[in-house]
Amino acid sequence: MKIVLVGAGNLATNLGKGLKAIGEQVVQIYSRTEASARSLSELLQCSYTTEISDICKDADIYIYALKDSVLQEIAQQTEGEEAIHLHTAGSMDMNVLQHKKHYGVFYPLQTFSKDRIVDFKSIPIFVESNDAYSLETTMQLAHKLSEKVYRADSEQRRKMHLAAVFACNFVNCMYANAAEITASAGIPFDVLHALIDETAAKIHQLSPAKAQTGPAVRMDRNVIDKHISTLSSERQQMIYKLLSEDIYKRKQQEV
């Protein structure tokens, strides 16, 4: 199949690599930023454009890996009447592409960075389509890339995206807070790597509720109050208190 990637960011870069690895033909990259479009096109050995009007019109699949705020605007300007048009957004409704004949969603649930190699075989891909032809073709493509393919409607996918924000983005924000604290102690952040790795590894065998440890589980006020007084940032104090309360209440609900 001839595939056009509309976008050249973190997701498009990783998806392009994954598609090339399974033998799919990415024929063109579109991006408003020429440097990004050119870089990815060189990597995938295909053409690129920064003009929407110059996007290839005879591809089989158009995959939109764009910011939510520009997705609909750009998709309305692309052609390929008989092609399948797929967006990759976790929180956007499938029907933002309803002006197309064949359309749907191809949502890989993962955090992507251009310089990090990912194994698509282990990445869950959530698929939704408007007709049987689009569904069959999209499912086939997803199964070539991943061993974990799920059909999910827009509401289910929106909830999965929300869960991912908690499990990834918010957790990474906690790493940033931890890094500030270790820096204030004059100790490198990498001393926490073993702890972080074990915390992540545990939930492959235990539920998050069963894996929870720490002073908030038992509401150890002596430790908690010392921690709060050590934090110089009012914002961090609020985060600490809110998370400690949530941990404790969840533990009490199990009893």
β-strands 125-129, 149-151 pairing? parallel
Structure confidence at residue 254 (pLDDT): 81
State the DSSP code for 52: G
Pick the CATH number of 2-152 from 3.50.7.10, 3.40.1390.20, 3.60.70.12, 3.40.50.720: 3.40.50.720
CATH architecture group of domain 158-254: Orthogonal Bundle (1.10)
Q: Where does residue 106 rank: exposed (0-12), middle (13-18), buried (19+ CB within 10 A)?
A: buried
**From CA 186, how far away is CA 169, in angstroms rounded?**
26
Tokens for 198, please give them: 């074990």
- The pLDDT score that the predictor gives to residue 192 is 98
pLDDT at 117: 86
Reported as a single tens digit per residue, the pLDDT across 169-193 is 999 999 999 999 999 999 999 999 9
What pLDDT sits at residue 154? 93
Residue 167 predicted with pLDDT over 90: yes
Residue 97, C-beta contacts closer than 8 angstroms, at least 6 positions apart: 64, 72, 75, 85, 86, 87, 103, 104
Residue 164 has pLDDT above 90, yes or no: yes
* Domain residue ranges of the chain, discontinuous segments joined by +: 2-152, 158-254
Quote the mean pLDDT of the chain. 96
- Rounded to the nearest angstrom, the gap between the alpha carbon of residue 179 and the centroid of all alpha carbons in its chain is 23
| Model pLDDT for residues 208-253, shown as the tens digit of each residue | 999 999 999 999 999 999 999 999 999 999 999 999 999 999 999 8
pLDDT confidence of 255, banded at 50, 70, 90?
low
Judge whether 26 and 16 are in contact, CB under 8 Å. Answer: yes
pLDDT digits (tens, 9 = 90+) for 6-19: 999 999 999 999 99
pLDDT digits (tens, 9 = 90+) for 65-107: 999 999 999 999 999 999 999 999 999 999 999 999 999 999 9
